[in-house]
Amino acid sequence: MSVCLDISWKSLNKHNEELCGDKVEVLHTENADIVILADGMGSGVKANILATLTSKILGTMFLNGASIESCVETIARTLPICQVRQVAYATFSILQIFHDGNAYLVEFDNPSCVFVRDKKIVDYPYEERFIEDKKIREYRFQVKINDCFVLMSDGVIYAGVGELLNFGWTWKDMAQYTLKCTKETLSASRLAAMLSQACYDLYGEKPGDDTTVAVVRVIERQVVNIFTGPPTNKEDDEQLICDFMKSEGKKVVCGGTSANIAARVLKKEIVTSVDYADPSVPPTASIEGLDLVTEGVLTIGKALSILKKYEQDEFDEEFFNELDAKNGASMLAKLIIEECTDLHLFVGKALNPAHQNSNLPFDLSVRMNLVEQLKDCVQKLGKNVKVRYY
């Protein structure tokens, strides 16, 4: 099997700190995906530098095939020693999942990873080793579709100390809450947001430590196809629709002219939706055989602004309310965020006759610009993007 991953993380800064002392790095190689969570000693600027250095060094070494021993030795030797505590640096967790389903996890002084499989918390056996006097836990296992892993910094386990609970919530409480949340959602981003929110509430909205959760879910490959813009030559209409319909996965058409082409070639009717709640987003339509039909430039632009918010870590309860809204832009963004590992764009390069009278090739330049931005943004989310022009 070839596994795909849905990866998301959320950090809370220690109260009154500008910078977070935790750092998450995600790396994609030809045969594996690697998630590194480093937690710098202390808080603020110093912790941020230590965590950033740690995650970057580990990432670079791992990418170059270094062993965990040499990684830990390098970290121990590279990072400065804290004058107060007489210990160096940062703690870390590294999860490496290979495309063939083999996985490797190594933890140094971070709370243990929470493993959820088949709606249960599972304990994987691990080996303990000492490298440079540091106790390391190593796990090796096979992943299955729908497995879920939660890596965390110790701020998660300290949540609630002295505030709502006298002794924080234990790792077990955290694991049980994770299990409860995985029954409510399957998306990594929603789970990360829910766990982060729980920590924030337990801290009485004033986190006493940098607090980070990184969620990794094992999912099946999910393709979303988007057709937008008429082809340069009208005689290519049928070829484009044929290619588009042949591609596996969800089918989305963005744009009135594009929808008319699809309906004509497929010999189906366009039914415009009458109930739309958000006046700033044009109404959607439906064509038999397609999953979503929306207006073009405005809808893609609005969906892009939602995706950019997500890319910049600005996802909370309010964000998910927007994502769940019943308008074309939110529906498009939700498909890309939550139901897509591969995005295939079928883009026509003809000028739209509706904009021909203005002096600018408005629609073409705007649409091409949006397609480029969409491609870049979705790639930054760790998804594969292919674009075909007609």
Of the candidates 217, 249, 278, which is a domain's last residue?
Answer: 217
Q: Which pLDDT does position 86 carry in this prediction?
A: 63
Say what percent of the chain tops pLDDT 70: 92
CB of 197 closer than 8 Å to CB of 191: no
Q: Which pLDDT does position 164 carry in this prediction?
A: 53
- 107: domain CATH number? 3.60.40.10
What's the whole-model pTM score? 0.89
Q: Range with the lowest mean pLDDT among 28-32, 53-57, 64-68, 353-357?
A: 353-357
Q: 128 or 359: whose pLDDT is higher?
A: 128
Handedness of CA 262, 266, 267, 271 (dihedral sign): negative
Q: Which pLDDT does position 84 carry in this prediction?
A: 65
68 and 140 in one domain? yes
Checking if the pLDDT of 273 tops 70, the result is yes
Distance CA 332, CA 316 (A): 19
Of the candidates 217, 251, 279, which is a domain's last residue?
Answer: 217
356 and 276 in one domain? yes
Of the candidates 217, 235, 259, which is a domain's last residue?
Answer: 217
- Report which of 309, 313, 306 is spatially closest to residue 24, judged by C-alpha positions: 313
End-to-end CA distance of the chain: 34
80 and 190 in one domain? yes
Q: Range with the lowest mean pLDDT among 87-96, 139-148, 336-345?
A: 87-96
Domain count, the chain: 2
Q: Which pLDDT does position 364 carry in this prediction?
A: 58
Q: Which pLDDT does position 104 carry in this prediction?
A: 94
CB of 345 closer than 8 Å to CB of 296: no
Which residue do the tokens 């939700």 mark? 334
Checking if the pLDDT of 359 tops 80, the result is no
Q: Which pLDDT does position 169 carry in this prediction?
A: 77
Checking if the pLDDT of 88 tops 70, the result is no
Q: Residues with Cβ < 8 Å from 23, sequence gap 6 or more?
A: 36, 37, 38, 40, 48, 51, 52, 54, 55
CB of 143 closer than 8 Å to CB of 125: no
- Report which of 332, 307, 310 is spatially closest to residue 226, judged by C-alpha positions: 332
306 and 211 in one domain? no
Q: Which pLDDT does position 85 carry in this prediction?
A: 63
Domain that holds residue 213: 4-217
Biggest CA-to-CA distance, the chain: 75
273 and 124 in one domain? no
Report pLDDT digits (tens) over 155-202: 998 886 655 555 557 899 899 999 999 988 778 999 999 999 999 998
234 and 206 in one domain? no
DSSP letter, residue 185: -
Report pLDDT digits (tens) over 219-245: 999 999 999 999 999 999 999 999 999
pLDDT average, residue stretch 335-350? 95
88 and 150 in one domain? yes
pLDDT average, residue stretch 302-314? 93
201-221 in b/e burial notation, b at 16+ Cβ within 10 A? Answer: ebbeeebbbbbbbbbbbbbee
Phi then psi dihedrals of residue 262, to 5 deg: -60, -45
- Which amino acid does the sequence have at 276? Y
Q: Residues with Cβ < 8 Å from 117, sequence gap 6 or more?
A: 144, 146, 147, 148
Q: 331 or 313: whose pLDDT is higher?
A: 331
- Mean pLDDT of all residues in the chain? 89
128 and 42 in one domain? yes
51 and 21 in one domain? yes
237 and 203 in one domain? no
Say what percent of the chain tops pLDDT 90: 69
248 and 171 in one domain? no
Report pLDDT digits (tens) over 38-75: 999 888 898 999 999 999 999 999 888 888 788 888 88
242 and 126 in one domain? no
Q: 364 or 178: whose pLDDT is higher?
A: 178
